[in-house]
Structure 1
Amino acid sequence: MSEQQTGIPQQVDPLVVRVLAPNPSPFTYTGTQTHLIGTTDLAVIDPGPDTPEHIDAIVAAAAGRPISAIVITHTHRDHSPGSRPLAERTGAPIVGCAPLVLSDTGPRLEAGFDVDYVPDRILADGESVSGEGWTLTAVHTPGHTSNHLCFALPEAGALFTGDHVMGWSTSVVAPPDGDMADYMASLERLMARDDRVYYPAHGDPVESPRRLVRGMMGHRKQREGQILRLLREEARTIPALVERMYAGLDERLFPAAGRSVLAHLVDLRNRGIVAETGDVWSYA
């Protein structure tokens, strides 16, 4: 895939154009990718942050064609706030995931929850929104967030994976809303599908979906194994685990890594494998 430029429409499939938002960061990679679906009337998936230049770029990419649905995978602030100005500009309804109001004081301040998100229609698992020549069907994939949806586009054999599966990194699973057991179950669900390609919100299209998902599941199992080996040696705090597990990691990402380790620990605790005393975790 050729290098993507902010605000420039890029055709990735006869039915799919992507537009990159100007919000690069250690968590968003090159930025949030908004996808426009269709050829006559359009759906817009994840219009991204409320950035006027990005909303202008989406409208320009539509090139006068009507936008009939604004579709949201989840309500982190790098995905859904742009839905409101885009709806005001186009009159399109906002559809997709349920609202989620949760105070998140964690390390991803730019990806905290969009508390002002109000959809016109919530799509349950298996429900669809459609236009001329396209259908988007919701696939409930909790884990990264409890309200996360992927969207299948059967006309292209494609799945829009939001942040559940990304094209550059594994997803952050951060308690209290992020749940490792749910995340792994959602990956298992994707393994059972036969999608030809994934279009994530961050990173390039994934052209070997099952291979990537299998690798992601193996990576999480490896992290779990690391935690258990370290706790068998001695009880440790989360920062001590992160220091041992993430050698060479950008220090700006240490807090997020700590949340991911916490997600594993909560899952292991719920399975009766580890225990916590204050901020110290031990092998049960």
Structure 2
Amino acid sequence: MELPADLPTGLAETIEPLVRRVLAGNPSAFTYTGTQTYVVGNGSDVAVIDPGPADPDHIAAILATVGSAKIAAIMCTHTHRDHSPAAAPLKQRTGAPIIGCAPLTLSDDGPRSDEAFDTSYAPDRVLSDGESVSGDGWTLQAVATPGHTSNHLCLALVETGALFTGDHVMGWSTSVISPPDGDMAAYMASLAKLQERSDRVYYPAHGPAVENPAQLVRGMMGHRKQRERQVLRQLESGPQTIPDMVPQMYKGLDQRLFGAAGRSVLAHLIDLENRRLVARDGDAWRLLAAA
């Protein structure tokens, strides 16, 4: 993976008057240039969104960005290890409460192309859909968006129309949907939910800001529906296993990523099974007559 050059790791970038961004030094195939932590507010108190990995240099960069302001809330969109582990040491350093998604820990049950879950995450307050946290000149409202994980939240900055989308919507890549916790039907419903909103800009945890959110969400929904049609076409010739299907569906993909791609195929198959369009026979999957 080739990353953009001269990335300002550890330095605060002001991306709009109420929002600063600090990039963690954890680039990879699934974090792109790294986890982007956002500091919201420029008054007496601020919120820190997705504090990222428990890396001392990144925590120091967050604290330097916050400066003399009080951290009113440490907020996590979900609990993968590239998003939430710094919450605990940041709370220990500042006394700030951890507010946001619900705790969730699962063992890894298959090849992943994203991080495993953070077992250290312990929120002081869990936000339900529509609940908010406010500070000096800012209000962040929870938008429940399960799918990538069952506990995923987006956070809407009411004053400016910005939406912090975590891993739910990213401009550089589609979100990983990996069962058992990743759920394709929930993910599609969450995309439809965002489509009904009128957010001005998305700030994802990885990759550049999304300046055309409505257009991107439409495209993402179309992409997933196209993948679903691919799955159904693969089964038209008879029952197949996921390892049979992946090379045909992901032509040109590095074989080292076949296992991770298979998780996405599995997510589609489970959704289709719940809709009574396919059924499984052992490791193989087949079309039902109604499909």
Provide TM-score, normalisation by structure 1. 0.97
Q: Which among 77, 83, 88 is matched to residue 87 of structure 2?
A: 83
User: Within the alignment, does 1:137 sit opposite 2:172 as a pair?
Assistant: no
Pick closer, same or farther for the CA change 1:2–1:45 going to 2, 3 Å: farther
Which residue of the partner structure matches residue 208 of structure 2?
Answer: 204
Equivalent runs, 1:157-176 vs 2, <5 Å: 157-176=161-180
Count matched residues: 284
Q: Which digits, 9 at most, give the CA deviation of each residue in 1:110-152, with x for residues without a partner?
A: 6111122110011111100110010000000000000000000
Match of 1:184 in 2: 188
Superimposed CA distance per residue, residues 6-63 of structure 1 (whole angstroms, 9 cap, x where no aligned partner): 1111111111111111111111111111000000111000001111111011111112
Q: Which residue of 2 aligns with 1:35?
A: 38
Which residue of the partner structure matches residue 19 of structure 2?
16
Structure 2 match to 1:272: 276
In the TM superposition, what whole-angstrom CA distance separates every residue of 1:58-86 from its partner, at most 9, and x where no partner exists? 11111222211100100111100010111
Q: What displacement does 1:107 show?
A: 2.5
Is the 1:77–1:110 contact (alpha carbons within 8 Å) kept by the matching residues of 2?
no
Distance 1:141 1:212 in 2: 16
How far apart are the structure 1 equivalents of 2:201 and 2:179? 29
1:247 aligned onto 2:251: yes
Instruction: Label 1:109 to 1:236 Cα distance change in 2 as closer, same or farther (>3 A).
Output: closer
Counterpart-to-counterpart distance in 2, 1:162 and 1:55: 19
Shift of 1:252: 3.5
Residue in 2 that maps onto 1:194: 198
Residue identity (%): 67
The aligned amino acid for 2:39 is L
What is the aligned counterpart of 1:48 among 47, 52, 61?
Answer: 52
How far has the Cα of 1:102 moved from its partner?
Answer: 1.8
The DSSP-based 3-state class of the residue aligned with 2:47 is strand
Q: Which residue of 2 aligns with 1:262?
A: 266
Give SS of 2:199's match.
coil
Q: Distance in 1 between matches of 2:114 and 2:265?
A: 20
1:152 is matched with 156
Shift, 1:90, TM fit: 1.2
Tell me the secondary structure at the aligned position of residue 286 of structure 2: strand
Q: 1:120 aligns with which of 118, 124, 127?
A: 124
Q: Say what the alpha-carbon RMSD is for the aligned residues.
A: 1.5
Q: CA deviation at 1:167?
A: 2.0
* 1:128 and 1:137 in contact (8 A); partners too: yes
Name structure 2 gaps, 5 residues minimum.
none
Match 2:97 to one of 72, 93, 116: 93
Query: What is the CA–CA distance in structure 2 between the aligned matches of 1:167 and 1:204, rounded to whole Å?
Result: 6
Q: Summarize the Cα distance change of 1:250–1:5 in structure 2 as closer, same or farther, 3 Å threshold.
A: farther
**CA separation in 2, counterparts of 1:3 and 1:65?**
29
Distance 1:109 1:169 in 2: 12
Secondary structure in 2 matching 1:47:
coil
Which deviations, in whole Å up to 9, do the C-alpha atoms of 1:213-240 show, x marking residues without a partner? 0000000000000111111022211112
Q: 1:169 to 1:109 in 2, by over 3 A?
A: closer
